[in-house]
Structure 1
Amino acid sequence: MMKYLQEIVVLVLILTLVLPSATVLAHPAEGVASGEAASARGQEDDEEVQLVTARATADLVRPGRVLISARGNHYIYDSVPPINGPNEEVNPLDGMLSALIACGMYIYEAVGIEQEIETSNLSATVQGEIDPRGVAGAPVNPRVRAFHVTMNVDGPTPEEAAMMAAAFSQRCPI
């Protein structure tokens, strides 16, 4: 099997302030595919929206440390050094990047099953570019400016890999 490396570069503002569409570039080992992520607003115009509500709760348990609970699971998050946090546990940016890459891997796995594409040895890396001074109160935008996602998967052809990258962009709610 040939191994294809895909890199998806998604330029977005963070979470609820996401741009109407995000640019996606997929770079398999052979060939390049690119496309635009579908606008969430455009999709809503075409069909009835069926929203579900996800919920998490949080309690400040000591300075710079939060206990988060979601669906009976509990997580500790620490604030970051620019705002005097201990940063010993996962911080919110780590959590967001982890959520993004987990979502991407699940979508690759699902598309592989749906399209009967083997997806052995699936692994991924994600990075987010921020200016941390904004978190500390400096007059700069603190939001993630770019995500760099690299998906490594054995099995798909370059065309299948590009299709999987497009599905990630289109289907991931993060």
Structure 2
Amino acid sequence: MATFEATAISTSDTGLTVKARNFEFLVDEPPSLGGGDLGPNPVEYMLGALLGCLNVMVHLAAKEQGVTLTSFSATARGDLDPSKFLGKNLDVRAGYQNVEVNIEVEGDVDADKLAEIARIAESRCPVSDNIANTTPVTIKIVKKA
């Protein structure tokens, strides 16, 4: 079992500085959602995390299948209804209603191998697993002493 951790400090009502290992990144909302547009928003980072994970998994699966890829590019797109997190419609889902990923690769690989690589990558990608399946999340808010 591996444990990962991120810490964060709020910089505004919508802005946040996140630290993970020795890296730091900004999270913010676009002006249309009341933010300062100082960085991607949380759901955009989630799409980026999915693409990062699939990059690793596609390359790993390709190697396992004896395939060398010479390029990888991908786009992830998700649809969500912001009315829930804005408190306007509590009956809809807060998260993505669907996520679509399109990956283009180059290399000496046929359609059957690509299908197997896709199957392996999707089934073993931790981020894809977290999106597709329910993961218990416990949130505690305490008053700072």
How many aligned positions are there? Answer: 124
CA distance in 1, matches of 2:96, 2:37: 18
Partner of 1:60: 10
- CA offsets 1:75-119 (integer angstroms, 9 cap, x no match): 000035565222331110110000001111111111122222021
**Residue 166 (structure 1) shift:** 0.5
Mapping of residues 1-174 of structure 1, within 5 Å: 51-81=1-31, 83-138=33-88, 139=90, 140-155=92-107, 156-174=109-127
CA distance in 1, matches of 2:32, 2:42: 13
- CA offsets 1:24-81 (integer angstroms, 9 cap, x no match): xxxxxxxxxxxxxxxxxxxxxxxxxxx2211000100223210000011000000355
What amino acid does structure 1 have at the position aligned with 2:119?
A
Please list every run of at least 4 consecutive aligned residues from structure 1 whose deviation after the TM superposition is greater than 6 angstroms.
none
What amino acid does structure 2 have at the position aligned with 1:152?
E
2:126 match: secondary structure? coil
Q: Percent identity?
A: 27
Higher relative contact order (CA 8 A, sep 6+): 1
User: In angstroms, what is the RMSD of aligned CA positions?
Assistant: 1.5
Normalised TM-score (structure 2) = 0.79
**Residue 121 (structure 1) shift:** 1.8
CA distance in 1, matches of 2:84, 2:105: 36
What amino acid does structure 1 have at the position aligned with 2:103?
M
CA distance in 2, matches of 1:136, 1:81: 14
Normalised TM-score (structure 1) = 0.66
Where does structure 1 lack aligned partners over 5 or more consecutive residues?
1-50
CA distance in 2, matches of 1:170, 1:164: 10
More strand by share: 1
Where does structure 2 lack aligned partners over 5 or more consecutive residues?
128-145
